[in-house]
Structure 1
Amino acid sequence: MRVTMTAMVLTGSLLALPATAAPQVEEVSLEQLSAQLAAGKTSSVALTRAYLARIAKIDRRGPTLRSLIALNPDALAQARALDAERVAGRVRGPLHGVPILLKDNIETADPIATTAGSLALARNITRRDAPLVARLRAAGAVILGKTNLSEWANIRSTRSMSGWSAVGGLVRNPYALDRTACGSSSGSGAAVAASLAAAAVGTETDGSVTCPSSINGLVGLKPTLGLVSAERVVPISHSQDTPGPMARSVRDVALLLGGMTGETTDYAAALSTSALSGTRVAVIRPPELRPALASRYDAALAVLRAAGAELVEVTPPKLEGLGEAELLVLKTELKADLNAYLATTPASVTTRTLADVIAFDRAHAATEMPYFGQELFEAAEQTKGLDDPAYRAARATSLRLAGAQGIDAMLRQARATLLVEPSYDAAWPSDRVYGDQYGGPSASQLPAIAGYPHLTVPMGLADGLPVGLSFIATRGGDQAVLGAGYAYEQRARARVAPRYLATAGVNAAADAGAVR
């Protein structure tokens, strides 16, 4: 079923387009595309055709990234309408006519399903826009298609393989095809890194925007909880879920964030290369960093100093019980929130509860569970609801530990407004037997639980693979992390484009060659 569905969606008439007429889109930013459109140097139709041709070339052929689940059959019609508006003198803003990708747990009114990567939602064509999508349309964005993801946003199993879904298969990392694209916004990360769009929307509960952004050499923002609406997004946790923008530059992330929020705030206009000047920054130095990552981190800290930041090292507090409290919150809210969501889906969706999904997976184990099971789903089904005292205590504990005793305490200790640390180490090999095998640093948990903004920005390659630098602030500090990230990015210029190597390592290019 997966092969048939994917082929039907991705090899339709939209892909039978001449590549010769396409403008250059590889490594071209959203900001540049917007300027080209404004200057009349290209059109939205031409850009949409160019991206469709590139998707045909490298997503299912060539490197076979498998970063997309579905293309929007209405994309060219949307582009034509937006071109006509521009000719008539109506320009909605910097996103007008720019093709954007969405993670496939975000609903759109287009005639494509919102699957969360599961065959249980293969017929979930809701014909309704999530609020963030409605705002992007109002800003003039073209909805190009839906990206692959870790199935159910990586909440199904403790042994999952990030980037795999029954609908889309396994996303491959454009920097080394045998490595993970991380998750759960795996396809959004790989697609933007490979210039299948200038930007994409991911979602995060804990690390699902920031990890694939870091590991695919991107800028990614997990906004303050509530800044971007999570309504009509297939849920895990109302306490932690948030959509977030992913792109190849801080300015592009800021532009996309403005469209997603629909606010009058111009996040891009406020960016300045002097944002770090005179700013006290709390610095976490995780123990026992690999030499390649430590070297990149030291270089990044030197850039921050050169930009005028005053760096103060802090010792992270011991937050015993945080992981257990977070997990109970996520399991409890998963059952409640997913049941509520499934009840709103079309009648063609026969899985109306989490229990139904568990039964569906068992009945379709060969396609749904070829590599890992659903023990987290089963544990979530046993939870006792949002009124359970244990759940309420866990949520209070996790908030206190992550916020007041975590990020807030470190910022107070340093008398700082920002916190920095390595986002993650480099991508690990995709492993169908053992799942995700990662024991390195991770910056995502505290801001995810606290609901604080978390931005990752490329800080170069470690042994040939991207690594990122995280900027974290307190609630509402989205402009602050964007500003600091921009000031760093403009000095470091650390992002390196992918080469689609078969494997990674110091001598990977010589040993394996590039796969095209």
Structure 2
Amino acid sequence: MIRPLLIGTVLALASTAAAAQGEPRMTQSAEARTRAALRQIERLNPRLNAVIAVDPTALDQARVLDRIHRARGPLFGMPILIKDNIETAGPLPTTAGSLALRDNVTGRDAPLVARLRAAGAVIVGKANLSEWANIRSSSSISGWSAIGGQTRNPYALNRNPCGSSSGSAVAVASGMVPAAIGTETDGSITCPAAINGIVGFKPTVGLVSRTYVVPISHSQDTPGPMTLNVRDAALIMNAVAGTDPADAATAEADARRVDYTAALSPDALRGRRIGVMRFSAGFGTDAPFEAALAVLRAQGAELVEIADLPGRQDISRNEIVVLLTELRTDLNAYLATLPAAVRTRTLADLIAFNRAHAAEEMPLFAQELFERAEAMPSDDAAYRTARATSLRLAGAEGIDRMIREHNVVALVAPTRPAAWLIDAVHGDRSGGGGSAGTLAAVAGYPHLTVPMGEIRGLPVGLSFVGPRWSDALILSLGYAYEQASQRRIAPRLLDSIEESEAIAPHLRPHGR
């Protein structure tokens, strides 16, 4: 069994050197920044369960960067956590949160991790996640994994952090690290980012390599940055975007990648026509959403109302066929590359493992989606029709049509509702939302969420969605909104939001 915290050992090794606490970020040594992150993880993670394991080589990585001046890349010394479905070279396994992969030490850096290291980042450890990226059961609790336990929302510990990149979001939001890498198939970067009050960017599918990332769907999977601000997300995109010969989806990436910081300007919204997806609004976010729209107008954007999108109800019904069909094929291919110590070599093996270890793996919810995926034909007419239909409805007849017919450059909507309660009885109950994210996820288009305020002390996000390869534009629009609005609120690690000073007095009796 992996111990979630190797932190004590790492900090004991680190205790002999002094950290440069008072230095500005860009003048701090890599070692000082790494020590600071390790201290924050040690202090906060016992309450939040955001980090599965700390890399015991983190300080060594930082010292090498400090010695080699040419290594002072654009991410110099930035401590970054990697979601634990992405491989990193070194002693830590890549588990996807499952006990079945606790011995999965491959010695491989995913290409995106190698790119981060080349840019000067320090990989400090692995972030907790919804086990198997939330594809095992439709009754799951987001943020739970058998390896890492339940990730907690730092705004209220009894609230759900959303998933599946829950640990990545919580670690950034709580100040453990300035940045983390998540992955998304549908909502797994943008939902936890919004609900934990940070920036999350799902790039165009094919801009960032998926090699050595535990897969769900080659049609929709992509890694992406989760940060405190849009500029850091753009810096990370500069590092990780690019063609990988082992991932055919990235064939165009080198030709499409640009400097994602170059277009970041407070004036980026001026004169831009932005579509407002009213059909994807509501679910308790009306007040902060209207305030966000007012900021967009004040920054010179022209807002165009879009009341509805015909056919969107059919997207999810077809999407699930695609995801379950590709899950078996893609996961079997990945598992076949793992070290001999990993005995589960197929999805069927995983299903059998979970049954044999049900007390640890399935104490709260089952694996009916795994079982459905195992029963799906590998490639048939129904799958091909479902993929063509979902892609058409989300892309050509969805995002592309709205942009063309309304003559806008991008679309906005609330990302998700505020965080719901962790519920071990009923599983996730998000209360709506997700239309904007699902459109972008199924189409494979870029989607950025930026903090847009709060509801009773719980953060909510504003989504910016654009057409394929419009990643730089979407980041620039989100940056301009972020600079004008400054709507991020800091977490306070309350046990519940009901104990806050704004709410608690109203829950007590009056007049007696």
Name the aligned partner's letter for residue 424 of structure 1: R
Aligned to 2:40: 54
The whole-number CA distance in structure 1 between the counterparts of 2:309 and 2:85 is 35
Preserved contact between residue 315 and residue 410 of structure 1 (Cα < 8 Å)? no
Task: Tell me: CA distance 1:154–1:24, structure 2 relative to 1, closer, same or farther (3 Å).
Answer: farther
**Pair 1:401 & 2:390 matched:** no
Which ranges of 4 or more aligned residues in structure 1 deviate by more than 6 Å? none
Preserved contact between residue 276 and residue 308 of structure 1 (Cα < 8 Å)? yes
Aligned to 2:251: none
- The residue correspondences of 1:89-104 to structure 2 (distance < 5 A) are 90-104=70-84
**Pair 1:447 & 2:431 matched:** no
**Pair 1:346 & 2:339 matched:** yes
The whole-number CA distance in structure 1 between the counterparts of 2:19 and 2:428 is 38
Preserved contact between residue 463 and residue 506 of structure 1 (Cα < 8 Å)? no
Name the aligned partner's letter for residue 105 of structure 1: N
TM-aligned CA deviation for residue 286 of structure 1:
3.9
Alignment equivalent of 1:199, drawn from 173, 179, 182? 179
Aligned to 2:162: 182
Preserved contact between residue 10 and residue 69 of structure 1 (Cα < 8 Å)? no
Aligned to 1:271: 264
What's the secondary structure of 1:395's corresponding residue?
Answer: helix
**Pair 1:140 & 2:120 matched:** yes
TM-aligned CA deviation for residue 506 of structure 1:
8.6
Name the aligned partner's letter for residue 108 of structure 1: T
TM-aligned CA deviation for residue 17 of structure 1:
4.8
Preserved contact between residue 281 and residue 433 of structure 2 (Cα < 8 Å)? no
**Pair 1:383 & 2:376 matched:** yes
**Pair 1:6 & 2:11 matched:** no
The whole-number CA distance in structure 1 between the counterparts of 2:390 and 2:181 is 27
Aligned to 1:43: 29
Aligned to 1:39: none
**Pair 1:418 & 2:410 matched:** yes
Preserved contact between residue 132 and residue 229 of structure 1 (Cα < 8 Å)? yes
Alignment equivalent of 1:321, drawn from 314, 317, 320? 314
Q: Which deviations, in whole Å up to 9, do the C-alpha atoms of 1:331-374 show, x marking residues without a partner? A: 00000000000000000000000000000000000000010000
**Pair 1:432 & 2:418 matched:** no
Aligned to 1:468: 461
Q: Mark the runs of 5 or more structure 2 residues left unpaired by the alignment.
A: 243-253, 506-512
- The residue correspondences of 1:150-299 to structure 2 (distance < 5 A) are 150-261=130-241, 265-286=258-279, 289-290=282-283, 293-299=285-291
- Give TM-score, length-normalised by structure 2: 0.92
Name the aligned partner's letter for residue 246 of structure 1: M
The whole-number CA distance in structure 1 between the counterparts of 2:404 and 2:34 is 48
Q: Mark the runs of 5 or more structure 1 residues left unpaired by the alignment.
A: 37-41
Q: Which deviations, in whole Å up to 9, do the C-alpha atoms of 1:462-482 show, x marking residues without a partner? A: 111000000000000000110
Preserved contact between residue 15 and residue 52 of structure 1 (Cα < 8 Å)? no
Preserved contact between residue 181 and residue 226 of structure 2 (Cα < 8 Å)? yes
Preserved contact between residue 289 and residue 414 of structure 2 (Cα < 8 Å)? yes
What's the secondary structure of 1:316's corresponding residue?
Answer: coil
Preserved contact between residue 457 and residue 470 of structure 1 (Cα < 8 Å)? yes
Structure 1 range deviating more: 319-328 or 464-473 = 319-328
Name the aligned partner's letter for residue 35 of structure 2: R
Alignment equivalent of 1:129, drawn from 109, 112, 124? 109
Alignment equivalent of 1:120, drawn from 100, 112, 131? 100
Preserved contact between residue 19 and residue 32 of structure 2 (Cα < 8 Å)? yes
Q: Which deviations, in whole Å up to 9, do the C-alpha atoms of 1:212-251 show, x marking residues without a partner? A: 0000101110000000001110000000000010101000
Task: Tell me: CA distance 1:287–1:338, structure 2 relative to 1, closer, same or farther (3 Å).
Answer: closer
Preserved contact between residue 72 and residue 145 of structure 1 (Cα < 8 Å)? yes
The whole-number CA distance in structure 2 between the counterparts of 1:482 and 1:170 is 31
What's the secondary structure of 1:129's corresponding residue?
Answer: coil
Alignment equivalent of 1:459, drawn from 444, 448, 452? 452
Alignment equivalent of 2:323, drawn from 325, 330, 337? 330
**Pair 1:306 & 2:298 matched:** yes
TM-aligned CA deviation for residue 323 of structure 1:
1.3
TM-aligned CA deviation for residue 202 of structure 1:
0.2
Name the aligned partner's letter for residue 403 of structure 2: L
Preserved contact between residue 464 and residue 504 of structure 1 (Cα < 8 Å)? yes
- Give TM-score, length-normalised by structure 1: 0.92
Aligned to 2:245: none
**RMSD of the alignment, in Å?**
1.9
Aligned to 1:477: 470
What's the secondary structure of 2:53's corresponding residue?
Answer: strand
Aligned to 2:492: 499
Name the aligned partner's letter for residue 79 of structure 2: P
Preserved contact between residue 222 and residue 245 of structure 1 (Cα < 8 Å)? yes
The whole-number CA distance in structure 1 between the counterparts of 2:7 and 2:30 is 20
The whole-number CA distance in structure 2 between the counterparts of 1:239 and 1:7 is 32
The whole-number CA distance in structure 1 between the counterparts of 2:498 and 2:18 is 37
Task: Tell me: CA distance 1:288–1:76, structure 2 relative to 1, closer, same or farther (3 Å).
Answer: closer
TM-aligned CA deviation for residue 404 of structure 1:
1.3
Name the aligned partner's letter for residue 233 of structure 1: V
The whole-number CA distance in structure 2 between the counterparts of 1:19 and 1:306 is 52
Task: Tell me: CA distance 1:433–1:479, structure 2 relative to 1, closer, same or farther (3 Å).
Answer: same
TM-aligned CA deviation for residue 510 of structure 1:
6.5
- The residue correspondences of 1:355-374 to structure 2 (distance < 5 A) are 355-374=348-367
